[in-house]
Chain A
């Protein structure tokens, strides 16, 4: 009446003895397998080759767009430039505004409602106004990025300042710190975790808004513009290739870049940023 002797390796436990190669194999298979399936489906004629060109064709076209005289790098570079410029503005101005608002109780009472009223407005809704005010220009898209990101940054920093314990300031003041010292040595380091979290979230929204704005603002370069333009000419390979690049760049910026920064600061300092 014995029950079977089972030496089944529990997934959870064996995970800790994983060879490093698994953490590379899994993503490759996970993303590669559907692509292979797609390729096979096109070659076997299961799906329409016009609407769903084979990944090999997409890769070939994208390569041609890069080298020797393609515009792909120009498009990608322009999008990234706009993102960077907008984010830089959002971080600098957003932090300043956020701290200013957050430090005083009436500041919060006055501005928090205004911010929460405008935050749910999709950033794209501002684009037509910006187009009228600025025109078809890099500045329009940069402002779009700025709007998308600064809400998150400001909101998070205001929350952060709110949460900073008064006692931290008491300690600093009892050490005789001047206001400028308090700003640089107490406030700024204190809000940094919230700034980083806000930047991470803001980048996500910003990238989304940017791509959409590039489609609308019909400027001459940018990944959003590139794929929208391709839809007018129905060059599907460029569209899919563009989508893939947008996905990869978005992942890289949000998870790899900012994720690393977050790990190196927020998590290491053991701070729980409340959302």
Chain B
């Protein structure tokens, strides 16, 4: 599948975003435009505010300056047009897998049997068949993440936001979930913004990699990955992109480390 055209209609537009917590400025002068059905990965040194930026897009926090527009309209809080998947899964332990996945549709007052049917489809697509009636506390990390992904996709938001989705998974599970996520993206045709600290994941999955700098962060690089999906991890071109991003990232990591030491 060819990468999403860069002339695609802009889905998410961030204009001159700044975010400060008290006296600490996390991000400043961040502007970018994400097109429809683009897969964008955000990467940067620890504590640089990349998750903060994601939460701004999600509407969980309000930027202290600048604005974000979705489909041309400024956002005013969270909404069912942007689904979220957290690193810590945040499943509801009092609901079975099935009812966790139907939650979004329940919120939209969809009749339960219809919701269950749709949920079962996504449960199947995320490889969770047979676990519909299990409670989250009995599942492994990888399965919990799949439930979180299924939950976010079932009510069909146009945008999917992922905050370090593989952070809590072991390497083998991670590879499986990465592959599933790529297949899902192809199938579901969504705009995806994924925050990660792994260059390898970013380059493997995304069309564009935005590199955030040390705090106060700005976007220091916008790398377009011009490779078709699905990608081969052994592809030498991939390695080249990886090196490119890594060198930019390392410079920023050094910067933030020296700032820490200077404290």
Q: Which residues of A contact B (CB under 8 A)?
A: 1-3, 5-7, 9-10, 13-14, 17
- Contact of A7 with B67 in the complex, beta carbons under 8 Å: no
Nearest residue (CB) in A for B77 is: A3
Q: Which of B20, B21, B74, B75 has the most CB of A within 10 A?
A: B21
In the complex, A7 Cα to B66 Cα: how many Å? 12
Take A13-B21, A17-B22 as given contacts and tell me if A7 and B74 are in contact as well, using a CB distance cutoff of 8 Å: no
Q: Which of B42-70 contact A (CB under 8 A)?
A: 62-65, 67, 69
User: Which secondary structure characterizes the binding site on chain A?
Assistant: loop
Nearest residue (CB) in B for A9 is: B22
Interface residue? B76 (CB, 8 A):
yes
- Contact of A7 with B64 in the complex, beta carbons under 8 Å: yes
- Contact of A3 with B62 in the complex, beta carbons under 8 Å: yes
- Contact of A6 with B22 in the complex, beta carbons under 8 Å: no
- Contact of A5 with B64 in the complex, beta carbons under 8 Å: yes
- Contact of B65 with A14 in the complex, beta carbons under 8 Å: no
Q: Which residues of B contact A (CB under 8 A)?
A: 20-22, 62-65, 67, 69, 73-76
CB distance from B30 to the nearest CB of A (A): 15
In the complex, A92 Cα to B206 Cα: how many Å? 66
Residues of A within 8 A of B73 (CB): 1
- Contact of B62 with A13 in the complex, beta carbons under 8 Å: no
Nearest residue (CB) in B for A14 is: B22
CB distance from B176 to the nearest CB of A (A): 33
Take A3-B74, A3-B76 as given contacts and tell me if A13 and B22 are in contact as well, using a CB distance cutoff of 8 Å: yes
In order of increasing CB-CB distance, the 3 nearest A-B pairs are: A1-B74, A2-B67, A6-B62
- Contact of B21 with A3 in the complex, beta carbons under 8 Å: no
Nearest residue (CB) in A for B20 is: A7
Residues of A within 8 A of B67 (CB): 1-3
